[in-house]
A and B are shown apart, each in its own frame.
Chain A
Amino acid sequence: MGLPSLSLLAQSALSGVFIGALYGLLGLGLSLSWGLLRQINLAHFALAFLAAYVCYQLSTVRGIDPLLTLALIVPAFFVLGVALQWVFARFDISAFNSLLVTFGLTVIVEALIQGIWTADFRRLESVYGSAKFRVGFLYIPAPELLTLVLSVVLSLAIWLALRYTDVGKALRAAAEDGPIAVAFGVNRQALAMLLSGVCAALAGVAGVCIALSYTLAPAQIYTWIGVVFAAVMMGGLGRPLGPLVAGIVIGVSESVTMALTSPSWAPLVSFSLLIIVLLVRPGKLQ
């Protein structure tokens, strides 16, 4: 096998950046709820696909512009997230039990999607779907570019909010030492609900991005769990820029490996990289 051309390599790296941005966007909400609320929310993936299907429905059947569906999806999912947190707080669920409960929720959502939209593949046809730019010798698909922009903007916005706003500081304090933060007047319950709502809304945004770029099927909920979890943990729990950076590192290394060897070798590179990072610099991650 000869070496692929430079343009092919660059195109692969670029598509790695795009898929990495989606990993990052999916991982963002996961990382926040894991790091700051100690909840491992498997249902995040299910919520994202639920949003993707809602977007598909609104846009295909009602003819609403897919991007405008965000105006409906974001607030609706925010409320969903708040409700979810209310249940979690009511039953005082531990980290590993949250894994179980949200897995149960995932299965329910999967059944719901399958019941409404069947297990067949669905594809959202929109004006954005096939749009492409050409920059030099590189092709840039519009939906993927949108995902990248949203992922970067949202990660940065949340990073800034956590760092500089009072609510963000209170959230970080509550995550570090709950009882002490409460003693200083932090309303932990309300903050947790707010954060859970934001995480669910993020899942909604990720869902719209998925609907724009990918073909949908209920079983696909499980496709990205492994790699997104990897990005979340590699990026550091509760650190908003972490999943994006780690996601892009993983995405690019996967795509470049695919271009250089065969697609089936891709996981070896990304996960070996991850193991090495974990073993050599475990302190860096948390």
Chain B
Amino acid sequence: MTRVYATMLIVGGVLATFPLLGLPLFYESFLYLVFHWIVLATSWNILSGYSGYFSFGHGAFFGAGMYTTAALASRFDVPFLWTLPAAAIVAILMGAALGAVVFRVKAVRGELFALVTLAFTFVVGTIVLNTPIDGGPGVYLSAVPVPKLGPSPASTFYLMGLAMVVATLAIAYGIYRSRLGVGLFAIHDDEDVAEVLGVPTFQCKMAAFAVSCGLAGIAGGVHALFVSYVTAGDTFTITVPLTVVLMSVLGGTRQWAGPAVGATIITALLYAFTASDLAVAGKAVFGAVLIVVILFMPQGVLGSLMARRRRKVAPATPAVVADAAMAPKIVARRSMDAGSILVARGIRKSFRGVRALDGVDIDVRSGEILGLLGPNGSGKSTFINLVSGHYRADAGTLALGGEDIAHWSAHRIARAGVARTYQIPRPFEHLTVIDNVALPAMFGAAHLDRRAALREAARWLEFTDLADKASFLPEDLNLHQRKFLELARALASRPQLLLLDEVLSGLTPSEIDGAIRLIRRIRDDGATIVFVEHVMRAVLALADRIVVLDQGRVIAEGAADDVMRRSDVETAFLGKARA
């Protein structure tokens, strides 16, 4: 990791000597433009590429930076370099204000997020145009002195651009490798699951958005001086976001350096063609190049190269080798008293008038395996969804280890030691198997750092017999393996309370036997387990106690053998025998 930073600094240092060579000024101006687009595309990618929230509002934040610098430098005579932090702050505040609203509305994802941010750009642009910030004629910066960082103004812009690129790439790489980056990639694949596994999704998106906007703001500030004449009509358009999207997708949005590659290619191509005598033909060639690259490299230039390399090394064993001697241990903080770990009282939940849970009381005792039974639609999965924080209860209290968690967000509940599996496995499709398991170890109750989380994940893959699949993508696994991946992912957070939603459905009898042994071992290691299951053999073999739900109410609870013999339970499952 430090090697990458060192390389960046060294390459940056070498490039910084470029103006001393005394080449024609044109080169420096051209390279400044390359740097400018690298910064814009990379900053866009930090939110949009990593988390999948494609923003079409980058022009607004870039423009905010431009106008902040333009206004401060031309009207208030603030020295140019001092306007840059202000440009960043204004852009960040605007982004934070937008994010604070938009990221709270669950449905605004994908195209809708792209649209909101695009509309935001036009709104900001209109306000700038019609208020004294611009007023219509545009703002001139020709009287603003260019700071003397290099031998000429052109080399000053070159050096400022270079500094921005090094800083931006370092930040993009840092986030890529960090906890935040892992969280963003998880949000990209499945935001709801990420939240349930402990990723504070709202905070992650806000942080990424703020960084993205801040960098765009600085780039805007510098560019305002470079073009020396700022107009709202040229700034707050769809051109800036469209260009950075093209650059990032061309380079590869899942790579930290992808947008830089794409920005370099597109800026160079555009320049080569517009500067030549055959500008019109050049434009057509540019379009054709774009089409050909995307048709044959759909993951972007860098993405496709990386994928080719990964395929070559894939058969090798994973980098992190599990320490087989160390059996995995669940549960860091098991409550000592033998009382109840989870107490639910009077839980109600309706979906558009359908009562899924209608005043349910359930106690889960520490260290037990509780089977949750009931016919389809009886409210079992809804209960799991409520405890894991995916839904909020309409009424009732839900206490975990004495604390009321009914109104906690899902990631906070995960941090407190609750983990779950999904009936239909929902792995993060673009993360490798081991990264899928490492994520809850980083964000769940255990809260390990990345390195420790990978070690922990390797152990759980060993435990669930998936060790040789560590570097595969989930799509390469069969159903049985995907179910066990779900389990490994839940276990890696070291939960106190493990919620299993039909982990056995769809498995063969021998696979079920294996799974039963696995679940026993998990309990012996100290976790409390609630499991929803239709495979009766497994219920009878595992459950210390069962609770039977029917139409949103608890109709029976007690030892498995006793409860299953009761006539009302039989009726709920099989219907009434006709007299």
A interface residues with partner B (beta carbon < 8 Å): 34, 87, 91, 93-94, 96-97, 99-101, 103-108, 110-112, 114-115, 222, 225-226, 229-230, 233-234, 237, 262, 264-268, 271-272, 274-275, 278-279, 282-283, 285-286
**CB of B119 to closest CB in A, whole Å:** 4
7 contacts across the A-B interface (CB closer than 8 A): A93-B294, A100-B250, A107-B286, A108-B283, A115-B281, A264-B126, A282-B108
Known contacts being A100-B294, A103-B246, is A282 close to B287, with CB within 8 Å?
no
Q: Are the C-beta atoms of B116 and A278 separated by less than 8 Å? A: yes
Give residues of chain B (449-496) contacting chain A, Cβ–Cβ below 8 Å: none
The answer to whether the Cβ of B86 comes within 8 Å of any Cβ in the partner chain is no
Q: Which of A34, A99, A222, A230 contacts B245 (CB 8 A)?
A: A99
Contact pick for A96, options B112, B249, B290, B291, CB 8 Å: B249
**Chain A residues with CB below 8 A from B242, complex form:** 103
The count of chain B contact residues (Cβ–Cβ below 8 Å) is: 42
A104-B130 contact given A111-B281, A226-B122, A279-B108, CB 8 Å threshold: no
Q: Check B294 against A101 for contact (C-beta < 8 Å).
A: yes
By a CB distance below 8 angstroms, the chain B residues around A233 are 111-112, 115
Question: Is B144 interfacial (CB-CB < 8 Å)?
Answer: no
Q: A268 CA to B250 CA in the complex, in Å?
A: 33
A275 pairs with B116, CB closer than 8 A: yes
CB atoms of A114 and B130 under 8 A apart: no
Query: Does the CB pair B287–A107 fall under 8 Å?
Result: yes
Closest residue on chain A to residue B125 by CB atoms: A267
In-complex Cβ contact of B246 among A100, A105, A112 (8 A): A100
Q: What are the 4 A-B residue pairs with the smallest beta carbon separation, nearest first?
A: A107-B287, A282-B107, A104-B290, A111-B284
Mask, B275-307, CB within 8 Å of A = 1, is 000001101101111110011001000000000
Within the assembled complex, what's the spacing in Å between the Cα atoms of A115 and B279? 10
B294 and A278 form a contact (CB under 8 A): no
Segment 98-154 of B: residues with Cβ below 8 Å from A: 101-102, 105, 107-108, 111-112, 115-116, 118-120, 122-123, 125-127, 129-130, 136
CB atoms of A101 and B291 under 8 A apart: yes
Q: Judging by beta carbons under 8 Å apart, are B238 and A111 in contact? A: no
Q: Is the CB of A275 within 8 A of B120?
A: yes
What 1/0 mask marks residues of chain B from 498 to 534 whose CB sits below 8 Å from any chain A CB? 0000000000000000000000000000000000000
| Contact count A vs B, C-beta below 8 Å | 127
Report chain A residues within 8 Å CB of B107.
282-283
Q: Is the CB of A278 within 8 A of B290?
A: no
CB pair B294–A274 under 8 Å, yes or no, is no
Chain A hits for B238, CB < 8 A: 222, 225-226
Known contacts A96-B54, A97-B298, A107-B283; can you find 7 more A-B pairs with CB under 8 A? A104-B287, A107-B290, A108-B284, A264-B129, A268-B130, A278-B115, A282-B108
Which residues from B are CB-within-8-Å of A93? 294-295, 298
Q: Which residues of A contact B126 (CB under 8 A)?
A: 264-268, 271
If the complex has contacts A96-B54, A97-B298, A230-B118, are A111 and B287 also in contact, measured as CB distance less than 8 A? yes
Nearest CB in chain B: distance from A277 CB, A: 10
Indicate if the CB atoms of B122 and A267 lie closer than 8 Å: yes
A96 to chain B, nearest CB (A): 6
Bound complex: CA A114 to CA B112 (Å): 34
Residue from B119, B245, B289 in contact with A275 in the complex, judged by beta carbons closer than 8 Å: B119
The answer to whether B287 and A100 touch across the interface, beta carbons within 8 angstroms, is no
How near does chain A come to B286, taking the closest CB pair, in angstroms? 6
Q: Which of B101, B111, B136 sits near A264, CB closer than 8 Å? A: B136
Closest residue of B by beta carbon distance from A92? B298
The residue from B108, B129, B281, B298 contacting A94, defined by CB atoms under 8 A apart:
B298
Nearest to A91 among chain B residues (CB) is B295
Question: In the bound complex, what is the Cα–Cα distance between A104 and B116 (angstroms)?
Answer: 25
| B267 → A minimal CB distance (Å) | 15
A274 close to B290 (CB less than 8 A): no
A103 to chain B, nearest CB (A): 6
Q: Which chain B residues (234-287) contact chain A, with CB distance < 8 Å?
A: 237-239, 242, 245-246, 249-250, 280-281, 283-284, 286-287
> Of B108, B120, B284, B290, which one neighbours A112 at CB under 8 angstroms?
B284
Say yes or no: A103-B290 contact (C-beta < 8 A), given A226-B238, A265-B126. Answer: yes
Q: Which residues of chain B are within 8 angstroms of A222 by Cβ–Cβ distance?
A: 238-239
Q: Are B120 and A114 in contact (CB under 8 A)?
A: no
